[in-house]
Amino acid sequence: AKLFGCCRQQASKFFKERFKGLPTAKRGRPQAPVDTVRIARRIARVSATPHQRCHTLRALAHATDNPKTMMLRYISK
């Protein structure tokens, strides 16, 4: 504020007006890139598995060669 010869509030207002149209920085952890083809293949493997091989979540994960945590994530959605 001393650099511009005004109070702190005026300097803050000046910068807010100046950067109004620019995109703001995103906070938090950046999103991981989504590979939709890989996800579609995993879901296709689950639906192609015979019913006899998927009585439990652990058996389904083993039969489809997918991680059990991924199965839990898809079920919860």
For the record, the structure tokens of 10 come out as: 């005026």
pTM confidence score: 0.45
Q: pLDDT tens digits for 15-37?
A: 888 777 777 677 788 888 888 88
Tell me whether residue 44 is exposed, middle or buried, using C-beta atoms within 10 angstroms of its C-beta: 0 to 12, 13 to 18, 19 or more: exposed
Confidence at residue 72, expressed as pLDDT on a 0 to 100 scale: 85
Q: Delimit the domains of the chain by residue range.
A: 34-77
